[in-house]
Amino acid sequence: MAMELYRISVKRFFMIFFSLSIILLFTFVLSLSIGSTVVNPVDVFIKLVYNFIYTMLDIFGVPHSPIGFGADKVYNIAMLRLGRTVASVLTGFLLGVAGLLIQTVTRNPLAEPYILGLSSTALTAITIGIIIAPNIIVHRWTLMTIAFIGSLLGFTLTLVLSRLAGGTSISLVLAGIAVNALFSGVSHTLLYSIQKIIKIHYVFLLMGSTSTILLGDTILLLAPSLTGITVALLMFKMLNAFIYGDEYAKQLGYNPGIVLIITSTIVSILTASTVAVIGIVGFIGLAAPHISRLLVGTDHRFSIPVVAVIGAVITTIADIIVRIISLLSAGLGELPLGVITSTIGAPFLAYLIIKRMKGYEDSY
């Protein structure tokens, strides 16, 4: 019976994962098609397929005729947008997985990196680093390290404040809101003072933007994405045990303290990566895990890959909406990405809070 249920779960997982991957591919191509110049998504898809085939032929040393894309307008426009599109996808990967992990270790469905203050403390740490050593802004890996330290300290501060206030789910969220508000204000003030150094409007760091991202920058998101998702998948048994409480985890031989430390470190790395590259993007880590659990349940073998793809789809759609609004606003400039994700996520948070205050019992 148990094996039969497991087979059904695996089959359901692959069907859902495949469907979500198709949706992600569609949004990816659409993202490459929309901008100041709109091109046909079908043409973009055909060019991408041909480019992929010829790249594979080159890798395996198979001779072929020249591609001839050099003067192709559609191809060149798509390649110019490739960096920001890949950045949107990887940002969704990172924040979706970070949100799932943080909800698991806190056993709180309202938790996510932005709400608990990890993003704002990471940005504050980056800003302080730039003030102390302005040249550090060109050393992106160093910025990511500084952001990681800030993010980890922010999570620790939120947990401490929450436990001082009783350690309930609501106290955790309230502590996170307090930490987020404090360090958002600090980072806002500091960023305003170093506007000339960072070269871009500080609002785009406070609320995130992919508009200036080049393809080469995405390696800063790719490495943490692969590392974080791989480590999280290797920990799936620990995470599954953690869902049912510390005592249950101990009975299975897992140390809750060690699981919390490892998971907090992973979440801080994932959050810091997005903040260092594109700025703060909120609420992806809140919505994606809930959708994932609705589709495949709480087993982390299934929910981690699914939440990564869901996060990527949401972020890419949000970035597409940003560009559509920019087109309709007749050249007034782009909105920050975080404006759209907050518009989507804030009502979702309010809904969860209302359900919880009415006695909603979550899966944790």
Tens digit of each residue's pLDDT (9 = 90 or more) over 94-129: 999 999 999 999 988 889 999 999 999 999 999 999
Domain membership of residue 191 (yes or no) is yes
Residue 26 CA from chain centroid, whole number: 19
Q: What is the CATH number of the domain that holds 54?
A: 1.10.3470.10
- Distance CA(259)–CA(101), nearest Å, equals 11
- Give the pLDDT score at 360: 46
- pTM here is 0.90
Cβ atoms within 10 Å, residue 61: 6
- Give the pLDDT score at 361: 47
Q: pLDDT per residue over 8-36, tens digit each? A: 788 999 999 999 999 999 999 999 999 88
- Give the pLDDT score at 64: 63
Show the 3-state SS of the chain. CHHHHHHHHHHHHHHHHHHHHHHHHHHHHHHHHCCCCCCCHHHHHHHHHHHHHHHHHHHCCCCCCCCCCCCCHHHHHHHHHHHHHHHHHHHHHHHHHHHHHHHHHHCCCCCCCCCCCHHHHHHHHHHHHHHHCHHHHHCHHHHHHHHHHHHHHHHHHHHHHHHHCCCCHHHHHHHHHHHHHHHHHHHHHHHHHCHHHHCCCCHHHHHCCCCCCCHHHHHHHHHHHHHHHHHHHHCHHHHHHHHCCHHHHHHCCCCHHHHHHHHHHHHHHHHHHHHHHHCCCCCHHHHHHHHHHHHHCCCHHHHHHHHHHHHHHHHHHHHHHHHHHHHHCCCCCCCCHHHHHHHHHHHHHHHHHHHHHCCCCCCC
- Distance CA(69)–CA(51), nearest Å, equals 9
Domain membership of residue 9 (yes or no) is no
Domain membership of residue 239 (yes or no) is yes
Contact 280, 205 (CB under 8 A): yes
- Give the pLDDT score at 120: 94
For 251-275, what is the mean pLDDT? 92
Instruction: Please check the confidence at residue 253 and state whether its pLDDT lies above 80.
Output: yes
Tokens of 82: 């490739």
Domain membership of residue 236 (yes or no) is yes
Number of domains in the chain: 1
Q: pLDDT per residue over 225-238, tens digit each? A: 899 889 999 999 99
* Structural domain harbouring 154: 23-357
Contact 284, 95 (CB under 8 A): yes
For 202-209, what is the mean pLDDT? 76
